[in-house]
Structure 1
Amino acid sequence: MRKIFLGFAVLILAAVVVQFYLAAVGAFDSAPNDEAFDAHAILGTAILLLAVVATIVAAAGKVGGRLIGMTAGIAGLVLLQSLIRVLADALNDSGDTSSTAGTLVFGLHALNGLAILGLSGRVLAEARRPAASQQPPVAA
C-alpha cells in the first residue's frame, strides 16, 4: 500500500508542476479568460481528487499520521485555491475588469499555489523514505 501511496505522491507533484505550466499558458493566451484557463481549472479539480484519494490510501496504508495530515493538507490548500478565486471575482468590478482589491486577493492564488507545490514535494520526499519498521537498526 505504501508503494501505491508513493505513486499518488508522484502523480500529485507532477500534476502541480503541469498546473503551473497551464497557468502560464492561460495568462498569455489571447482567448478570453474563461476559455484560456479551462485546462487549468480542470486539472485543479483532478489534483483535488488525487489528493483526497491519496489521503485515503495513506490512511489505509498506515503511513503515519503526519504524512496523512500533510496529504490531507494538499486537498485543503487546493480547496483554498477555489475560495481565493471566488473571493477575488466577488471583489472585481462587473464585466471583465479587475479592481485593486480583487487583484490583490487573486495574488494569493499564486502564493497558495507555491504552498501546494512545496507541500506536494515534501509529501513525496516523506513517501520515499522507508517506513520506520523497514529501516536498518543503528549500530551503537
Structure 2
Amino acid sequence: MLKFLRIWMGVLLALIVVQFFLAGYGAVGTGALADNYAMHRMTGTLISVFALLGLVFAALARSGGKLVGMAAIILGLVLLQPVIAMISIEGTMAGQIIFGFHVVNAVAIPHVVVGVMTAAGKAKAAKDSGDSKGGVTDTPEPVPAG
C-alpha cells in the first residue's frame, strides 16, 4: 500500500504542475476571465478528490500518524485554495493581498506532497527490511576506533 501511496502522490504532484500551467494560461488568456480559468477550476476540483483519496490511502497504509497527518495537511491546503479565491475582493488592495496567499499556499502544497512521497518511501524501505521503527534506532551506531 505504501508503494501505491507514493505513486498516487506522484500523480497528484503531476496534476499540481498542470494546475500551475493552467493558472498561467488563465492569467494571459484573451477571453473572459471566468472562461480563462475554467480549466484551472476543474483541475482544482480533481486535485481535491486526489488529495482526499490520498488521505484515505495514507490511513490504509497503516504506517503511523505522521504520514496520515501530512496527507491531511495536503487536503487542508487544497481545500483552502478556493476559500482564499472566494474571500478576496476583486479590484481592491486588500483583495489582491489576500489573493496573493492563494499563490503562496499553492507553492506549499507540492512540498508537502513530496514530503509524503519521501516518508512513504522510507516507511516502505523500513518495512521491507523488517525495521519496525522506520530506520530510527534508540542505540547509537558504534564508532570505529582509529
What TM-score results when the alignment is normalised by the length of structure 2?
A: 0.83
| 1:131 Cα offset (Å) | 4.5
Structure 2 unmatched runs, 5+: 136-140
Asked if 1 retains the 8 angstrom alpha-carbon contact of 2:12 and 2:50, the reply is yes
C-alpha distance in structure 2 between counterparts of 1:66 and 1:131, whole Å: 16
Instruction: Name which one, 1 or 2, has greater alpha-carbon Rg.
Output: 2
C-alpha distance in structure 1 between counterparts of 2:22 and 2:120, whole Å: 26
User: Once superposed, what is the RMSD of the aligned Cα atoms?
Assistant: 1.8
Structure 1 unmatched runs, 5+: 93-97
C-alpha distance in structure 1 between counterparts of 2:104 and 2:79, whole Å: 14
1:91-110 equivalence runs, <5 A: 91-92=89-90, 98-110=91-103
| Equivalent residue in structure 2 for 1:115, among 108, 112, 137 | 108
C-alpha distance in structure 2 between counterparts of 1:131 and 1:61, whole Å: 14
What TM-score results when the alignment is normalised by the length of structure 1?
A: 0.86
Asked if 2 retains the 8 angstrom alpha-carbon contact of 1:63 and 1:131, the reply is no
| 1:135 Cα offset (Å) | 3.3
Question: Are residue 127 (structure 1) and residue 132 (structure 2) matched?
Answer: no
Runs (4+) of structure 1 exceeding 3 A deviation are 135-140
Asked if 1 retains the 8 angstrom alpha-carbon contact of 2:2 and 2:121, the reply is no
**Larger CA deviation: 13-22 vs 127-136:** 127-136
C-alpha distance in structure 1 between counterparts of 2:20 and 2:121, whole Å: 24
Aligned length: 133
Q: Percent identity?
A: 34
Structure 1 residues 86-121: Cα deviation after superposition (integer angstroms, max 9, x where no partner): 110xx33xxxxx111111110110000001121112
